[in-house]
Each structure stands twice: as C-alpha cells, then as structure tokens.
Amino acid sequence: MGREGSGWAAPAAPSGTQLPPPVEDKMVWRADILVLIAGLAISAGTAENLKKFPVLMPHVKPERAETYFCTPIRIDPSQEYYVTAFQPNATRETAHHMLLYGCETPGSKEEVWNCGEMALAQPGIDSAPVCKTGSQVIYAWALDAPRLVLPEGVAFRVGGKSSIQYMVLQVHYASVEKFKDGSTDDSGVFLYYTEEPQPKSAGVLLLGTGGRINPNSVEYMETACTINENKVIHPFAFRTHTHALGRVVSGYKVTRQGFNVRWQLIGKKDPQLPQMFYPVAEDMVIRKGDTVAARCTMESKRDRITRIGSTNEDEMCNFYIMYWTDGKILNRKNCFSLGPPFYYWSRDNLRNIPDKDASSLAVGTSAVEQGIAPHQI
C-alpha cells in the first residue's frame, strides 16, 4: 500500500549528483521515538558514500477522510548527517500530499498522532501540532511527483548541533476508500544521506496566504516579505501547491532601486501538474533588502465561498523556494499574508506588478492543455 517503487529511474528534479545503489539503514526503538543510527557503508567503488533511511508511516489505518497523521524520527544528537536526496514512497491514490518537517522537538512523542490543525481528528489517537519547537519544511510531495536530488555539494544538515533534531512526516489522507478492506499504509519518503560534511547548506522558504475566494470568481492570493537577514541565498528549485481552484502559482524576487522596481521570476507552474520541486527559471541571488513575492491565481465556479484551510473543501496557496547558502540558512522559514480581501501586492507599496505574467502560462504547459483534470473537485 502506498508504494511508488524503490527504483531511481524517474526523471530527476535539479541534480548534480548521480546516486549509487544505496544500502538501507537499520532503525531501533528508543523512548518511544525512532532513532537514526549509522547504517552500512556503500561499496568503496561508488562516487559517494550515500546511505538510505526510511521515514514511513508505521502501517496506519486512517478511518476518516481528511485525516492528517504525523510520525516522528529522532536523529542521533552525537552525529551530524547531510541529506542529499529524497525518494517518495507514495501514490496519489493513497496520499493527497506529504510534508517532511525538521523540528527541534516534535509535537508529540507518540508513534502516530493527529496533526491537521483544522482537519478531523481520528478518535483514540492523540492530537498535537507537527512540531513543538523549531518547525521548518524540508521536503514536500503531491500528485505522484518523482524523486528530488539536490545539487552537488548541497545538503540539509540534521542531527548533531544542527537545529533539526527530529524529522516528522505528515501525510494527508483526503480519502479513506482504500482502507475500508482493512489495508494499512506505509507512505513516506526514503532519505539519502552522507556523514561527510557538504560545503553548502540547503533551506526552504515557504510563502503562503490566508484569505477567501468568492463564488464564481477569479481571485489573486498574494504575499510578499522583505529579507532582513544579512545572508545570501541561491534559489535552485521551487514547488507550488493549491487544491482544485489553483490555475497558476508564481514566485518572484523583487528588487527596489529608488523608484525602480524589478520583478525577476523564480518560477511558475500550473499546480494541477505533479507538485514536485522544479528548477528555477534562472540563476539568481537573493540578499538582504530583496523581497520575495508569490501569487496564486484561483478560479472558482462554485456557488459558495472557499476559504484557506486544510480539508478537501478548502483551498491552499503555497509557493516553496528551496535554496542553498554558504553559511547558515535563513532564520525565517515562512512568509504568509492575510490574503484576500485584506492583502494584495498593490497595498504593499509594490510597483510595476507583472499582472499578466504572474497569472499566465506558456501555451501548452497548463494541466488542461495536457489533458489533466484538477486533482480535487
């Protein structure tokens, strides 16, 4: 249940690394938390000493549609690990989407808990947030997206003295039809990592909105934040996420030089396509004083208001920026606005807004043109 296969033949997202056939790590149980320990080394003939570790749901059985389950992994605090690739172990028929969080401390020490803020909780299972402290997204998956391999020399630093002492897998089960026959689920992700320090640190900045979409309307859900930290980041991949109403999600770097405002596209996509991390539109550097901005163009043919929320009946507007830096990653992990009708770019002193570009796609690149129906009704 929930397996997409363990092969690595699918087309990769941004990649500078060839993956050798890895050897799977062992897992032990300690204090109700799974602990990552050193695995078996790859043969000396491979280019990298990569190891493989599974972060999977422990054969859960969701009983209610719109269930969000979380399960934690504790990372060895005496050793730093460098995660360089992610292989999903899920299908869209089972899991609506998955998020892998890095936490200082998890929301619960239970093996599994309910972790959807506005979703239904399954009776008999505790409810808690994903992380208690230090929450940051390090990987996201939906719509049968393939594996992700980070550029050469780039890795997420976890364990040891890093800010990520636990990883928590969150899986959203929009439907439970597949479990009515008693089946269970082990959806999740395989991590590929090394103990050899990597020169560049990876991070993710999540842009999103609150707000609502009126009946039978087109709405722009927008957010923007200025980088106030004295750090230089290099975006290399982006990911979009909405539910059924999303038509285009776009992200930009905005640079102000006096009265001149330049919008540089980070990336844009139809969110009804596989929601993987895609290469950025062009190489760029984001520094202190630059602004990052995102827009979700939503089209509703419903006769009701649709609000931002976590269930199948709600919407989401998310734009993920995955980046690398030579030093420490940004302290800021999120950039959220109130969304419509309270926030728009035009009310944030932003000029030269690329209205047409931000809400349009090149001919032939939309899901509809490729014969793909919206993934939710």
96 given a catalytic annotation: yes
316 given a catalytic annotation: yes
Tokens read off for 343: 């926030």
Q: Which position among 98, 122, 136, 243 bears the catalytic label?
A: 243
Q: Is 155 within 8 Å of 200 (Cβ atoms)?
A: yes
Q: Which amino acid is at 119?
A: A
- Residues facing residue 59 across a β-bridge: none
**CA distance linking residue 343 with residue 155, whole number of Å:** 35
Q: Which position among 136, 170, 198, 275 bears the catalytic label?
A: 170
What are the helix (H) ranges across 225-324? none
Q: Which position among 96, 165, 221, 375 bears the catalytic label?
A: 96
Buried b (16+ CB within 10 A) or exposed e, 35-60: ebeebeebeeeeebebbbbbbbbeeb
243 given a catalytic annotation: yes
Q: Which position among 98, 241, 275, 276 bears the catalytic label?
A: 241
Element (H, E) at 142: strand 136-142
**CA distance linking residue 255 with residue 238, whole number of Å:** 19
- Residues facing residue 54 across a β-bridge: 190
Q: Which position among 87, 98, 167, 172 bears the catalytic label?
A: 172
Q: Which position among 97, 221, 276, 298 bears the catalytic label?
A: 97
- Residues facing residue 140 across a β-bridge: 99
- The 10 Å Cβ neighbour count of residue 315 is 25
170 given a catalytic annotation: yes
Q: Which position among 167, 221, 298, 316 bears the catalytic label?
A: 316
234 given a catalytic annotation: no
For tokens 């690394």, name the residue.
17
**CA distance linking residue 335 with residue 225, whole number of Å:** 6
- The 10 Å Cβ neighbour count of residue 305 is 11
**Can the peptide bond before residue 14 be classed as cis, meaning omega within 30 degrees of 0?**
no
Longest dimension (CA), the chain: 64
What are the helix (H) ranges across the chain? 355-358
- As annotated, the active-site residues are 96-97, 170, 172, 241, 243, 316
